[in-house]
Amino acid sequence: MDSSKKFGTAPVFITAISTILGAILFLRFGFAVGTLGFWGVVLIILLGHMVTLPTALALSEIATNKRVEGGGEYFIISRSFGLNIGATIGIALYLSQAISVAFYVIAFTEAFQFFFDFVSNALGFVLPRQVISIPAMLALSYLILTRGANMGVKALYLVAAVLAVSLVMFFAGTATYAVESEFSLAGAEFRNLDQFFIVFAIIFPAFTGMTAGVGLSGDLKNPGKSIPLGTISATVAGLVIYFFVSYKLVHSAGTPELLEDQLVMARIAVWGVVIIPLGLAASTISSALGSVMVAPRTLQALAGDLAFPLTRVNRFLSYGRKKDNEPVNASLVTCLIALVFVALGDVNVVARIISMFFMVTYGSICLISFLNHFGSSPSYRPSFRSKWFFSLLGFLAAVWIMFRISAGYTLLSFILITLLYIYINSYHRNRKNLASIFTNTFLQINRNLQVYFQKKRISGYESEWRPSAICISVNSFRRDNAIKLLRWISHKYGFGTYLHRIEGYYSKSTFEQAKSELDRLIKNEGLDGNVYIDTIISPSNTSSIAQAIQIPGVAGMENNMIIFDYDKEDPRELDDIIDNVKLVKSGDFDVCILASSHKRIIYKNGIHVWIKSIDEDNANLMILLSFIILGHPDWKNSSISIFDICKENELKQVRHRMDDLVESGRLPITARNIRYIIQREGMNSKSIVNHYSAEAGLTIIGFREESLKRGAKEIFEGYNEAGNILFVNSCSKKIIE
């Protein structure tokens, strides 16, 4: 075992409880009780612990799943959300911890109020608080830089003992200084409801600090045991103590005294004039000690993960003393930052931003726990388990409370964190940002959706039709017309799966070839494509089709369309396509055959849909496909033109049907986009198409399965003037809603 891992559970508990029972307890809790009444403060305690307790449980759970290295909360967040997101939250967390040191040191000076009063009364001038705070900060810095965390933990034991004695003396005291209180639980008040969240914002830092002990994770003998036990026990102990402090205050002093006397606890406690200032000094210096031990370890872990842009900076900050890995350089930087804010003397504005960042941290930890529960990763097997609804409650409560405290500061925090993430991502672009926790969550959502849709389908639930198309091709690197068509279909309304066929039998060599060519295809498709791309190894087109039409759709619905493509100028593949249409139709698939042209696609010339009187079943599918394709940005300045070829005696009926579709808004066109072509005796429909659609971006034409038995190949030939043609055969008549 590493000899530098020297701490047990006690330092985790002491660090956490001494940070929880901090300056707010002694300086502002009486004010809270006096303002809101007993039940108002009870509600604040409960609401605050709706965040802190789930966070403690989530931390304990995560810590028992994997060994928590140095950096505590930062390590957990970065290893769950990815290094770039982790570094973003980690830097915000570190700054909060570092500035918190100054906050506690400034609060420490309030214990010397008697000294400032004496100087003011005896000498006639007011001393600045820095007379005490700066020497205290320098002494604290010397202690940490020379003795390290080991001495800090020893000092914590001393100050925790003083803190415990001061609380015992407070509970043992009587209300001798103020008006005797006639408090009873039955008559307890909840007053000044309109000031509830103002007081909550002041009091909430009293409940934070339960994660302080986690920052010692790199120095613990057994983090998986010490972190849960120390953190949860400190959180629960703090909750109980705050309840009893509230009861003691409201039972021992009247409302005027609670509101007007900042150190009202000193008037209640036995030997309170001495013991309560000592307790205040102990609580604030212990909180400062806890923060000044934890913050450098967060900074050291950040630098160890190369969170900063300069190598020299990372090397300097990640340095640890050889004998115990004490982060001396990170401690020096932390002390300097704290000293600057101590010298300024007023951190009230900064403290509100600090609380925002702490809430971001707590919310992130609860979200990590929830996502791990929801993602159901086999590797997530903590020995201590919280409940997913506790974690979700903690996350939602953290976000809600942030906005209730200050919507402005919440938005400012989110903006700063977003800008920081963009900056970190700019110099760490090669890091994988989609951590496994998100991947597992998405996989679980997808799995549940697919099962849900399957059950709905079995139960007779009918959803609105939309295309879920498969295209199988060996020509992926020779022409891209088919994948373009799938991209158009799947951009907004449909789903597309493109299967690149590797000719041959499944073997090690064809498997490696498939992996290589898949990577190449995905790279070519880029991040903007919505087509799911895969490979299929098969010796023939027929066997690959038989395999493909049996696979489930990636959209959580069954595939319902097959797309074939062939080269118009070299139609040798057309025979094979025709031979396999019957196989596809046996599975109730719509069939689309794309005749790929070498002509450039002129998108602004639009999509031409050709309808014949014998195309009743195909017509609606052709119209729906044209509308779906038009939703892709490539066609943003395009339009749909429908050409209806009919006999002269059918014209009135056809016109009435099309006008009804247009007027009811079920076609994305106007009446002037529809042209009625009378097919007179001896007129060739192919010559009509060549005449009107020679420059069309895409031409859509229907075909019937029965016609394949007669003319077969001739059906698709003779459209030499037109560009890309999509031949469509519908397995059933589609309803245009």
184: number of Cβ within 10 Å: 9
**What's the confidence (pLDDT) of residue 459?**
47
Kindly tell me if the per-residue pLDDT of 662 is higher than 90. no
Res 604 pLDDT > 50 = yes
Report the pLDDT value the prediction gives residue 429, as an integer from 0 to 100. 73
Residue 562 pLDDT exceeds 90: yes
| Mean pLDDT along residues 695-720 | 85
Q: 563 - beta bridge partners?
A: 471, 592
Distance CA 219, CA 5 (A): 4
What is the average per-residue pLDDT within 265-283?
84
Task: Quote the pTM value.
Answer: 0.63
Q: How many CB atoms lie within 10 A of CB 460?
A: 6
- Most confident among 23-37, 562-576, 667-681 (mean pLDDT): 562-576
DSSP lists the bridge partners of residue 497 as 470, 532
Instruction: Work out the average pLDDT over 80-108.
Output: 81
Single out the residue of 613, 675, 611, 665 nearest to residue 641, CA to CA: 675
Please state which architecture CATH assigns to domain 9-427: Up-down Bundle (1.20)
Residues 100 and 294 sit within 8 Å (Cβ to Cβ): no
- Nearest residue to 536 (alpha-carbon basis) of 561, 590, 499: 499
- What percentage of the chain carries pLDDT values higher than 90? 14
381 token code pair: 């097997």
CB 540 within 8 A of CB 580: no
Q: Which residue has the higher pLDDT, 659 or 487?
A: 487
State the SS3 of 269-327: CCCHHHHHHHHHHHHHHHHHHHHHHHHHHHHHHHHHCCCCCCHHHHHHHHCCCCCCCCC
Asked if the model's pLDDT at residue 93 lies above 90, the reply is: no
Cα–Cα distances in angstroms (integers) from residue 68 to residues 10, 39, 229, 300, in the given order = 17, 39, 15, 15
Phi-psi region of 566 (alpha: psi -120 to 50; beta: other; left: phi over 0): beta
pLDDT tens profile 421-434? 888 888 777 765 55
pLDDT for 379 beyond 80:
no
Token pair recorded at residue 611: 């309808």
Average pLDDT value for residue range 345-355: 60
For the stretch 323-342, pLDDT in tens is 777 888 998 999 999 888 88
Over residues 510-532, mean pLDDT: 82
Q: What is the pLDDT of residue 241?
A: 92
User: Which tokens go with 699?
Assistant: 């031409």
pLDDT one-digit tens code per residue, 456-471: 664 445 567 788 899 9
> Percent of the chain scored above 70 by pLDDT?
83
Rounded mean pLDDT of the chain? 81
pLDDT band at 3 (very low <50, low <70, confident <90, very high): very low
Residues 414 and 363: their CA atoms lie apart, in Å, by 13
pLDDT in tens, 28-77: 788 888 888 888 889 999 988 898 889 888 877 877 776 666 666 787 77
- pLDDT, tens only, 607-652: 999 987 667 778 888 888 998 899 898 998 888 998 888 877 778 8
CA 98 to chain centre: 26
Q: What is the per-residue pLDDT across 105-156, written as a single tens digit (0 to 9) for each?
A: 887 887 787 788 888 888 877 888 788 888 888 888 887 777 765 555 666 7
Classify 504 as helix, strand or coil: coil
- When pLDDT is averaged across residues 704-716 and rounded to a whole number, the result is 77
Longest dimension (CA), the chain: 120
Pick the CATH number of 597-737 from 3.30.300.10, 3.30.360.10, 3.40.50.12370, 3.40.190.10: 3.40.50.12370
Do 693 and 722 touch, CB atoms closer than 8 A? yes
pLDDT at 179 over 50: no
Taking 60 as the threshold, does the pLDDT of residue 181 lie above it?
Answer: no
Which residues of the chain are in CATH 3.40.50.12370 domains? Answer: 597-737
Q: Which two tokens stand for residue 28?
A: 């502002």
DSSP H or E stretch at residue 412? helix 407-427
CA 39 from chain centre, in angstroms, equals 36
Q: Which residues of 120-136 are buried (b: 16+ CB within 10 A; e: fewer)?
A: eeeeeeeeebbebbbeb
Give the pLDDT band of residue 414 (cuts 50, 70, 90): confident
Contact predicate 107/27, CB 8 Å: yes
Residue 708: helix, strand or coil by DSSP? helix
CA angle 671, 673, 675 (to 5 degrees): 90
197 pLDDT exceeds 60? yes
Q: Which pLDDT belongs to residue 668? A: 59
Mean pLDDT within 672-686: 81
Buried b (16+ CB within 10 A) or exposed e, 151-163: ebbebbeebbebb
Q: Where exactly does CATH 1.20.1740.10 map onto the chain?
A: 9-427
pLDDT at residue 725 above 90?
yes
